[in-house]
Amino acid sequence: MTENISDQWDAILIGGGPAGASAAAVLSEHGRKVLVLEREKFPRYHVGESLIPFTYAPLERLGMISKLRQSAFLKKYSVQFVSPSGSASQPFYFFTRYDRETIAQTWQVLRSEFDQLNLDNAREKGATVLEETRVTELLKEGEAVVGVRAELRDGTQREFRAPITLDCSGKEAFSTVRQGWRTKDPYLNKVAVWTYYKGSKREPDIAEGATTVAFVPEKGWFWHIPQHDDMVSVGVVAEGKYLTRGGVKSPKDIFHREVTQNAWIQDHLSTGQQVGDYYLTNEYSFHSKHCGSQGLLLVGDAFAFLDPVFSSGLMLALKSGVMAGDAVHAALAAGDVSPERFTDYANTLREGIENMRKLVYAFYNPNFSFRQVTDKYPHLGADITDCLSGDVNKDFSRLWDAIREWAPIPDDLPIGQPLVSREAAVAAQ
């Protein structure tokens, strides 16, 4: 079968997760001939299950809203915060600020199903997808990336060529690592440990699908994300030193000790049955020094991965996929895929990432709470809601100025621009 597959494409995508599937769908809609190379056989497991309101626009652009409405995914209308003693804040309902029929209702998804839907959507629009196909190398001519080498399901090696390759390989960041561009966030280096429960307690009525962020000491926090089929995804995020205190090392032991640190989590899980594995991930937030170079563009987590406390990852992956699809189509149409063409793409993404990152920094500062800010500056409540909901491409400077009274706000990282080739830089002088 695969021997009939062409060697030459308009664009090659490494990875068929949300970033890859959305970029492939948009490029295919533009009539581009795209090849998605995905290492796994879908449906495959993936963490990251809670959407935020402003995921709506990319999902709508992709034609995914009606598919999600028909799915079994639990509807999410709100978030709430819970103190270690177990007292819960009033849930924040998104429809108090956004349109109830569109942006204000989002979903808690099972990623195996959600990612399959997205990848099938790309296929329906014309993308060719090869699963169980691992990209092993970027092909280069001089400084330019001209395609990839991949190992197919049967173990054979193939080379595929295109004027542009989109790296959508997720947190592993295939080419980001190989190009030496991976930059750790100076502060956000947490550890996450998580598992799943069936049959645990749920909130009533429309709060059933709420995300709960429940605190443990030292600015650690649990996510509690209810899913369909009576499942819940539950995990704890904190400094590694805190989680492994007293020499506790196994994910299972870490998880169960932390459950005792939050009365609400303990109570909600008490009626449920733990299901499946315990997972752990560290080496948390990172950013790529460049968004791409000649023939290469980074999309989704491969460009930047941000601490998941505000569930921004899928919004950023889908949004960057859609933006990359449009930008790459325009570049191909102009017959010019030089890196400079992706400057706006980089600036828009970095602006959104930096705004979210500032709020994440504040969140982890022991002197900060949202309540303090809104008590003193009630008019800034809307800014906080917008940023938390994923409406991240706007000017939040008055919010950062206010938050600085309690917590330092980091400067923007001076990174993310496309790497312009040496020849182009010399020619421009």
**Using CB under 6 A, which of 40, 132, 137, 218 touches ligand FAD?**
40
Nearer to ligand FAD, 47 or 152 (CB): 47
Q: How far is the CB of 162 from ligand FAD (least distance, A)?
A: 15
Q: How far is the CB of 134 from ligand FAD (least distance, A)?
A: 4
**Using CB under 6 A, which of 26, 29, 30, 39 touches ligand FAD?**
39
User: How far is residue 313 from each of residues 148, 195, 284, 367, 425, measured CA to CA in Å?
Assistant: 26, 19, 13, 26, 33
Q: How far is the CB of 406 from ligand FAD (least distance, A)?
A: 26
Q: Which stretch binds ligand FAD (CB under 6 A): 11-19, 63-71, 157-165, 408-416?
A: 11-19
**Using CB under 6 A, which of 317, 384, 399, 402 touches ligand FAD?**
317
Q: Does 24 bind ligand FAD (CB under 6 A)?
A: no
The rounded distance, in Å, linking the Cα atoms of 286 and 234 is 23
Nearer to ligand FAD, 252 or 400 (CB): 252
Q: How far is the CB of 109 from ligand FAD (least distance, A)?
A: 9
Q: How far is the CB of 92 from ligand FAD (least distance, A)?
A: 16
The rounded distance, in Å, linking the Cα atoms of 114 and 97 is 26
Q: How far is the CB of 307 from ligand FAD (least distance, A)?
A: 9
Residues 6+ positions from 45 with CB-CB distance below 8 Å: 111, 112
User: How far is residue 229 from each of residues 117, 127, 254, 285, measured CA to CA in Å?
Assistant: 18, 31, 26, 31
Q: How far is the CB of 79 from ligand FAD (least distance, A)?
A: 11
Q: Which stretch binds ligand FAD (CB under 6 A): 41-49, 240-248, 345-353, 372-380?
A: 41-49
Q: Does 352 bind ligand FAD (CB under 6 A)?
A: no
**Using CB under 6 A, which of 11, 14, 188, 399 touches ligand FAD?**
14
Q: Does 192 bind ligand FAD (CB under 6 A)?
A: yes
Nearer to ligand FAD, 116 or 347 (CB): 116
The rounded distance, in Å, linking the Cα atoms of 81 and 357 is 19
3-class SS of residue 198: strand
Is the peptide bond prior to 43 cis by the omega test (within 30 degrees of 0)?
A: yes
Q: Helix 343-364 crosses helix 313-334 at what angle (to 10 degrees)?
A: 170
How many Å from the N-terminal Cα to the C-terminal Cα in the chain?
49
The rounded distance, in Å, linking the Cα atoms of 55 and 40 is 25
| Cβ atoms within 10 Å of 182's Cβ, excluding its own | 16
Residues 6+ positions from 364 with CB-CB distance below 8 Å: 187, 188, 219
Check if the beta carbon of residue 200 is closer than 8 Å to that of residue 45.
Answer: no
Here's the x/- map for ligand FAD, 248-287, by CB under 6 A: it reads as: ---------------------------------x------
Q: How far is the CB of 317 from ligand FAD (least distance, A)?
A: 4
Q: How far is the CB of 323 from ligand FAD (least distance, A)?
A: 13
Nearer to ligand FAD, 269 or 373 (CB): 269
- Cα torsion 186, 191, 197, 201 to 10°: value is -60
Residues 6+ positions from 200 with CB-CB distance below 8 Å: 232, 234, 268, 269, 270, 271, 272
**How many residues bind to ligand FAD according to rule CB under 6 A?**
33
Residues 6+ positions from 79 with CB-CB distance below 8 Å: 91, 92, 210, 211, 212, 213, 388
Q: Does 49 bind ligand FAD (CB under 6 A)?
A: yes
**Using CB under 6 A, which of 12, 23, 35, 37 touches ligand FAD?**
37
Nearer to ligand FAD, 302 or 420 (CB): 302
Nearer to ligand FAD, 38 or 383 (CB): 38
**Using CB under 6 A, which of 103, 130, 291, 314 touches ligand FAD?**
314
Nearer to ligand FAD, 9 or 421 (CB): 9
Length reported for the chain: 429
Q: Does 292 bind ligand FAD (CB under 6 A)?
A: no
Residues 6+ positions from 404 with CB-CB distance below 8 Å: none
Amino acid at position 243, single letter: L
Nearer to ligand FAD, 209 or 300 (CB): 300
Residues 6+ positions from 100 with CB-CB distance below 8 Å: none
User: Interaction with ligand FAD in 128-187: which residues (CB under 6 A)?
Assistant: 134-135, 168-172, 174
Residues interacting with ligand FAD, by CB under 6 A? 14-20, 37-40, 46-50, 134-135, 168-172, 174, 192, 281, 300-301, 308, 311, 313-314, 317
